[in-house]
């Protein structure tokens, strides 16, 4: 990881309120190209999967 977890939490907590259960997705910059129309999901055992469609706001529909 480029940044240590406590640095990520510190940074994000300065711009938004973090609540128990919030997820900070660190990803892998540049490893995978995400395009308009792709679906991104996060699955944690015991929880309903979080599924989101990617919408590139720079692309005209």
SS3 labels along the chain: CCCCHHHHHHHHHHHCCCCCCCCCCCCCCCCCCCCCCCEEEECCCCCCCEEEECCCCCCCC
The pTM is what?
0.48
Residue 31 belongs to a domain: yes
Range of the domain at 48: 5-53
Q: pLDDT digit string (tens) for 12-49?
A: 999 999 999 888 877 766 777 888 999 988 888 999 99
Please say if the pLDDT value at position 54 is more than 70.
Answer: yes
Number of domains in the chain: 1
Closest CA to 8 of 22, 24, 21: 24
Is residue 34 included in any domain, yes or no? yes
Report pLDDT for 56: 86
58 lies in some domain: no
CB atoms within 10 A of CB 20: 4
pLDDT value at position 26? 79
């Amino acid at each position: 990881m480029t940044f240590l977890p406590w640095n990520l939490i510190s940074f994000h907590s300065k711009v938004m309120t973090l609540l128990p259960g919030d997820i900070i997705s660190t990803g892998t910059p540049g490893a995978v190209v995400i395009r308009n129309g792709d679906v991104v999901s996060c699955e944690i055992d015991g929880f309903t999967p979080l599924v989101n469609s990617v919408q590139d706001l720079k692309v005209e529909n």
